[in-house]
Every structure is written in C-alpha cells, then in structure tokens.
Amino acid sequence: MKNRRQKHERSSSFTGNSHRKSTNKKEAQIKIEKKEIDSVEDEIKRLNKAIEVSKQQIQALYQHTLKNIGQEEAKIFEAHMMILDDPEYFGQVQQKIKTEKINAEYALKQVTDAFIEIFQNMDNEYMKERALDIKDVSDRIIRQLLGIKTVDLSKLDEEVIIIAEDLTPSDTAQMDKQKVIGFITETGGRTSHSAIMARTLEIPAIVGVEGIIANVKNGDIIIFDGDEGSVIINPDKETLKQYKDKKEKYEQFQNELKQLKGKPSITKDGCKVEIVGNIGTPNDIEGLIKNDAEGVGLYRTEFIYMDRDTLPTEEEQFEAYKKVLQAMNPKPVVIRTLDIGGDKEVSYLNIDKEMNPFLGYRAIRLCLDKVEIFKVQLRALLRASIYGNLKIMFPMISSLEELLEAKKILQEVKRDLDSEGVEYASNIEVGMMIEVPSAAIISDILAKEVDFFSIGTNDLIQYTTAVDRMNQKIRHLYNPFNPAVIRLIKMVIDNGHKQGIWVGMCGEMAGDPKLIPILIGMGLDEFSMSPISILRARRIIRNIERKEMEKIANQIIDLPTAEEVERFIDENIAID
C-alpha cells in the first residue's frame, strides 16, 4: 500500500506526529469452534480455573495501574473484577455448558455476545462503553482456556505504532511508554477508557480511523499526524523526509515552549493575565504542574458522579477537592458545581429521557431541584476550602433568580457548618459561568451579585447560534468567529469590568491561538484551557501588545460575518 492517506476526525487531546513500524493487533483475534464435551464437570472446572487465573492477572494489573498511572484509571480493573465475580454472567455460561454439552470457550463467547448486544443497544454512552469491559474480560478468560499467548505490550524490543480495532483498558495500561510511541484504532471515542488512559500517559493516539487494519500489515512504515488528523501508510522518501522535518520542528517548538515555564503571562506593554487549566479529575493536576499552569480555571466535578452506580459521598468529594486545592495551593482553584445533563449522563439519577437534553434538566437547574445533592457537594467544597485558594462557580445560570437561589443555598450550608462548628475559609469567591445568551445579555445585572464571571464558550456558541455542539452534520456552523458570539463576549467582559469583577473564559475558545490576541484586546483577565495548550498561549501573549490588540478587537466588532472576522485576524495578527 503506497502513500495511502486517510483523513479522519482527530482526537483533539493528542498532538504531535510520529512515524514508525506498525504492529497490527488484528492477528491476535481468536477463532472459537463449537465442540461437544464428554464431562460437564471437567468443563466447568476448566472454566473456573481460567476465571481464577484471570482474576490474578487483573489483580496484578490493578496494582500496576494504581502505582504507575493513577487511582482513577485503576478503577477500570475494579470494574473487571466485578464482572469476574458476577454470578449471573457465569451462571448463564455454566448453564449453557450443562444443557448444550458444549465447550466452555464457546459457551462463554455466546453468553458474552448476548450481553454485549444488550449493552450496545442501550441509549447511554457509558453503558455502551461497558460492553468493551465485558469483551476485555471474556477475551482474557478465552485466551486462558485456549492457552493462547498474546502480544505483550509491556515487553517490546523496538519502537512501534499499534494499530488495533480498539484497545482494551488492559492493553493500554500495560503499554511500555518507551516503546509504544503511538496508537491508531478503528473504533473508540474520545471518552472511551483507553483514550482517557492514553491521554494520561501522554501517548499520541488517533481513534476512529475506519479501514486502517485492512490497509496495514506488520512492519509497514506509518506516519500519523495528530495535528492534521492524517495517517500515511508506507510513505515515499520525500514524504518521509517532509514529516521528519515537521517532527523535528515540532519538537524544537515544544522545547522552546518549555523555556517559558516560570515566566509571567504578560504582553509586551505590561498587561498581565492568568493562564490556568481545565481539569476533570485530581489526577489531571500532574499535567497542569508540568505545563506551569497558574491555577485551575475549571474543575469539572461531574466526573466524580459519573462511571458509578451511586452518588458520591460528601467524604469522597471532600477528599477529591482537598487533593486539588492542596496540590495547587496558593494558586487559585475554580471548582464548578455539578453540571450533569446534556451529553453527560448519570444513569442512577433516573432522569427522564428528554427531547432536547442540552435545553433541559441539567446543571444548576437539576441542583436547585435536587437540593440535597447540591448541599452535599457544597458542604464538601466548603470543608475543603481551608486547604487552598478555592473559588466556587455555578454552571448554566440563565437568570438572576437562579443565581440568587444558588447563593441562598450556599449561605444555608455555611450556616449549617457554623452550627456544627465546622471550619471553612472566610474569603471564598463565588462566581458563575456565562454560557447562556440570556445571562450574557443581563450580565450587567448579574455582575453585581458575583465575584467573577467565566465565559463557557462551548455552550455559549451552541446556544447563541442554535447549533448543537455534538452534531457533526452542522459542525461547519459551530463557529467561534461568529460575530454574534464575539459581540456577546465583549459585552460580558465590559459589563463585568464596569462592576469591578474579573472575567475569565474556560471554553475551548480560550486556548485558540487565533483568538487569544483578540480576547487580550477585549480585556479578558483569565484564560482557562487544557494543560497542553498553556505554554503556547503564554508565548502568544508575550509576543503581542495589548494596545494594538485592543484596536484590532474594536474593528472586529463591526465585521458582519465569521469569515471576515477570521480573515481580518489572519491578515492583521502574526501568530508564530
């Protein structure tokens, strides 16, 4: 296969480009034949032995992951242990062996396939992902039963790129980071466990490249570019050289960025801003520290509530918040209260299916309705506040009434803690996200009631332009350069400043190299982004003049189309 180039959606969390020999995992696929057995008893014994060995392996993987990667990632193997202890699952396998007198591996495969189908047909992304866990566990037992040795990703003797249908969490956890320099999968989404693990391990990866397995064989040379979102199989010499140069430049650029660690985020004419990071779990702190974040601008706490069967306790939450606050102290940490609903489902809350979940029962609306859940989180936050510099932020506020109600509940929780003699910090700032147009429009009124605003452009763009942020078909309409969005942002910053509060941004737009100068020109005080974007943003800010950007921002406000806004930026601002 010469020079085959495939375009696909890149997984935005991974960047960089790589070329190396490939290892095609398709070869490890197992064919299972149906066989009649003589002794049911012996067959069940064989099955139980394979389950036992699998348990030991998973236990070892759990310990390895806990020690080398993190608690959050190790949880995957807790889930695997639960599957291995599931009497319903293995009861059905045993039943099949008994009644049909068939071999254990075939019975297991049939029961597993039935379970997977049920999970995959569920209308819930999380449950769909669980199908992969069941497959992972069942494959492990089947390999035991058949005595198959698999490619050991922890013991490779040369650098490889892994090509696979999808990678199981066990595969990803064992990967030798020195040897596996990247992976490409046919399936899997940005929220699949293997993608999450790869992100934590900082292994470049691209997911969702259909047809890649059929086009690659072991030993092929592969270039993949996370920036461009392209894969090239067996490139010619010239292409290889071109990408080697690109890789060198990329590495050089990354090294240059490292020099900016410890330096302030300040424009040439002395305007200092804060560049902080977005996180989802306490483990993400490592990436923030590595990239010299000046604090946390958005801790999405909903992940504590997801991937489980019951609500997290106050204690569990307290520990998570404390960990982040302590690790960042004295830097600021903005923790957002629960923002579930929309694309973030929590199955155990049994929320009715809605026609328009993004316009529905979500975030602060849910918290003001289920006050007990909200209060538990606020208690945990307040108790943790003594360990660092906490700022509390409410999501999805769309009216003054909602904001006042949320603040009232916070006061009630403070009073409860006072009466119990429980300590909390006295100077906690309280802010809100501006992600609904109605909030942006009355931001002059809302600004009187909070200590800060953080603009959530991911939602603000979708609500302002009526473009579903998850809908690929209308992706071209989801545009941060849209003049309506630009005008709303300017209005919010001005209204915040008139009331003397600081204004930040924690949507993806805050880390967009083309828009950072404009936001500086509009006077944004704080930029919150994924850790990997921080040093690049600092470099851009240190290379521009606030005064000049202000002039450009003022001109942009009058432009009529997104295209003209983008072109004006391209023509007037040089970014690296």
Site string for Mg ion, 424-463 (x = CB under 5 A): -----------x--------------------x--x----
Here the tokens at position 337 are: 């209260």
Task: List the 221-225 sheet strands across, edge first.
Answer: 4-7, 230-233, 221-225, 17-24, 160-164, 180-185, 205-206
Does the protein bind ligand PEP through residue 456 (CB under 6 A)? yes
**Nearest CB to ligand PEP, comparing residues 153 and 334:** 334
Catalytic status, residue 506: yes
Using CB under 5 A as the binding rule, the residues of this chain from 517 to 556 that contact Mg ion are none
Task: Give CA–CA dist 78/59, Å, rounded.
Answer: 8
Does the protein bind ligand PEP through residue 391 (CB under 6 A)? no
Shortest distance, CB of residue 494 to Mg ion, whole angstroms? 22
Q: Which does 457 bind (CB under 5 to 8 A by kind): Mg ion, ligand PEP, none?
A: ligand PEP
Query: What residues contact residue 225 under an 8 Å CB cut-off, 6+ apart?
Result: 17, 231, 243, 246
With contacts defined by CB under 6 A, name the span among 138-146, 348-356, 366-374, 456-464 that binds ligand PEP. Answer: 456-464
**Nearest CB to ligand PEP, comparing residues 248 and 354:** 354
Task: Give CA–CA dist 520/534, Å, rounded.
Answer: 15
Shortest distance, CB of residue 563 to ligand PEP, whole angstroms? 23
Bridge-based pairing of strands 452-455 and 230-233 is unpaired
Number of neighbours of residue 558 by Cβ within 10 angstroms:
9
Q: Which does 300 bind (CB under 5 to 8 A by kind): ligand PEP, Mg ion, none?
A: ligand PEP
Q: With beta carbons less than 8 A apart as the criterion, state whether 416 and 430 touch.
A: no
Does the protein bind ligand PEP through residue 435 (CB under 6 A)? yes
What is the number of residues in the chain? 576
Q: What is the dihedral of CA 378, 380, 383, 386, to 10 degrees?
A: -90
Shortest distance, CB of residue 260 to ligand PEP, whole angstroms? 24
Shortest distance, CB of residue 450 to ligand PEP, whole angstroms? 17
Task: Give CA–CA dist 108/46, Å, rounded.
Answer: 12
Using CB under 6 A as the binding rule, the residues of this chain from 292 to 351 that contact ligand PEP are 298, 300, 339
For residue 274, the cross-strand partners are 526
With contacts defined by CB under 6 A, name the span among 161-169, 407-415, 452-460, 531-539 that binds ligand PEP. Answer: 452-460
Q: Which does 506 bind (CB under 5 to 8 A by kind): Mg ion, ligand PEP, none?
A: ligand PEP
Ramachandran assignment for 70, one of left (phi > 0), alpha (psi -120 to 50 degrees), beta (any other): left
Catalytic status, residue 193: yes
Task: Give CA–CA dist 204/13, Å, rounded.
Answer: 9
**Nearest CB to ligand PEP, comparing residues 65 and 464:** 464
For residue 160, the cross-strand partners are 21, 180
Opening angle at CA 572, ends 227 and 562, nearest 5: 65
Q: Which residues are identified as catalytic?
A: 193, 506
Residues that bind Mg ion (CB under 5 A): 435, 456, 459
Residues that bind ligand PEP (CB under 6 A): 298, 300, 339, 435, 456-459, 506-507
